[in-house]
């Protein structure tokens, strides 16, 4: 098909004719094949996109030797954002950026509605297996998950700091929260209680027993991408439920890294990977989860306006939901307050977690007698806060 026109310009032959191409003219053949021509060379659209992607990949932080530790978490330049026993994804490619320097870290292929359908079906199938595992044995699996997280605590904390923006101590601290709740869940797995009631029938007793609910959908926010999933999943798992997780679109690498750790534990115990499924995506995936009757309980963490919408969608199907939403916290300071204690508390409450907690203090209500002193001391305290790379 390739050829040159009589004028010597690069061209393409179609149906026995040579079509001249000047400069970088784009032509479409049969409405499906796009060909680009530049300086006498032909590039298919897929090849052009490949070259663009290659240039993008070379600028990713994960390819910088300084951040080579990211690969120790199983991450690569392009990652699949869907897992239900196997990895995949056919949705849009999302780039994760470091909020500190605005540089791209790596990319994640998000899930499409078709991917979601595969994931929910696999999770439902996995639940049939998981629900039959005795609770103490489920607790043992969660214990192993906690141990696996301990081994990766430092490096996971670094990833969270890099992708979310909180300081390293808080990043590691959040991973520790997941570990702590896993330990707590292990104990609970041997403590499920029920009631015993007398029966009207001679020689009979009535026993009340708790049974697994089914699939727990978990939608987490960017500010606590590790701990919130840990709180929800650890307790859900020991109760015999399976989890379908949609992490925040801005922290997809954390979601992928955590899921890879859990995948390894499940695989080592010959259990279905879809017990802990993942579908990264945007509002479209969240909407599917909220409206899906196969999601027996939906746990949503995020803003109050979005949480309200989610609750309405779940209520329309008479479903169950848990909401952890935003706050508008205040500190009320009287004229006899300990100002030293106040300044320390206020700075941490306002600036901790890069100011992105749902419990972050937004308002200071000061008595007029201490107003000026508090404001001046807060200014001095804020001036001491180091702004920059949270890993340093």
**Residues with active-site annotation:** 324
**String of DSSP letters for 162-185:** HHH---HHHHHHHHHHHHHHHHHH
Closest CA to 116 of 299, 287, 316: 287
Tell me the C-alpha distance between 117 and 341, whole Å: 53
Tell me the C-alpha distance between 100 and 387, whole Å: 9
Closest CA to 101 of 77, 75, 67: 67
CB 244, CB 216: distance < 8 Å:
yes
Tell me the C-alpha distance between 388 and 391, whole Å: 9
What would the two tokens of residue 308 be? Answer: 């309200």
Tell me the C-alpha distance between 52 and 79, whole Å: 17
Q: Which residues of 67-80 are buried (b: 16+ CB within 10 A; e: fewer)?
A: beebeebebbbbbb
Residue 364 CB coordination number (10 Å): 17
Tell me the C-alpha distance between 147 and 332, whole Å: 42
Please give the C-alpha separations between residue 93 and each of 80, 81, 242, in angstroms, as whole numbers: 9, 9, 27
Query: What residues contact residue 195 under an 8 Å CB cut-off, 6+ apart?
Result: 207, 208
Contacts 24+ apart (CB under 8 A), 371-375: 373/339, 374/333, 374/339, 374/342, 374/343, 374/346
User: DSSP 3-state helix, strand, coil percentages of the chain (rounded to 5)?
Assistant: 45, 20, 35
Return the residue matching tokens 């301990």: 150
Cα dihedral: 80, 81, 83, 89 (round 10): -70
Beta bridge partners of 44: 35
């Amino acid at each position: 098909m390739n050829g040159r026109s009589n004028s010597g310009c690069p061209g393409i032959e179609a149906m026995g004719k040579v079509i001249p191409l000047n400069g970088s003219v784009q032509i479409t053949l049969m409405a499906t094949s796009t060909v680009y021509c530049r300086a006498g060379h032909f590039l298919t659209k897929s090849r052009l996109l490949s070259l663009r992607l290659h240039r993008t990949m070379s600028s990713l932080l994960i390819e910088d030797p300084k951040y080579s530790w990211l690969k120790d978490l199983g991450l690569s330049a392009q990652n699949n954002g869907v897992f239900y026993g196997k990895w995949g994804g056919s949705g849009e490619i999302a780039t994760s950026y470091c909020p500190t320097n605005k540089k791209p870290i790596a990319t994640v292929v998000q899930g499409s509605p078709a991917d979601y359908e595969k994931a929910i079906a696999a999770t439902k199938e996995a639940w049939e297996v998981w629900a039959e595992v005795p609770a103490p044995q489920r607790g043992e699996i969660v214990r192993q998950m906690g141990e696996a997280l301990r081994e990766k605590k430092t490096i996971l904390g670094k990833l969270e700091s890099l992708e979310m923006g909180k300081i390293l101590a808080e990043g590691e601290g959040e991973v520790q929260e997941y570990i702590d709740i896993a330990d707590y869940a292990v104990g609970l797995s041997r403590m499920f209680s029920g009631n015993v009631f007398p029966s009207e029938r001679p020689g009979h007793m009535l026993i009340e027993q708790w049974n697994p609910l089914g699939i727990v959908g978990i939608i987490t926010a960017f500010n606590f991408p590790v701990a919130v999933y840990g709180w929800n999943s650890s307790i859900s798992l020991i109760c015999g439920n399976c989890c379908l997780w949609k992490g925040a679109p801005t922290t997809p690498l954390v979601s992928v890294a955590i899921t890879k750790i859990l995948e390894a534990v499940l695989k080592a115990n010959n259990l279905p990977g879809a017990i802990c499924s993942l579908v990264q995506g945007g509002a479209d995936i969240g909407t599917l989860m909220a409206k899906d009757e196969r999601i027996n309980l939906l746990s949503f963490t995020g803003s109050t306006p979005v949480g309200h919408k989610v609750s309405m969608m779940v209520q329309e199907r008479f479903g169950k939901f848990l909401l952890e939403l935003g706050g508008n916290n205040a500190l009320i300071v009287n004229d006899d307050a300990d100002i030293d204690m106040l300044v320390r508390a206020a700075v941490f409450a306002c600036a901790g977690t890069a100011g992105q907690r749902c419990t972050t203090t937004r308002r200071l209500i000061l008595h007029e007698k201490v107003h000026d002193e508090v404001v001046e001391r807060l200014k001095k305290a804020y001036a001491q806060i180091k702004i920059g790379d949270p890993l340093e």
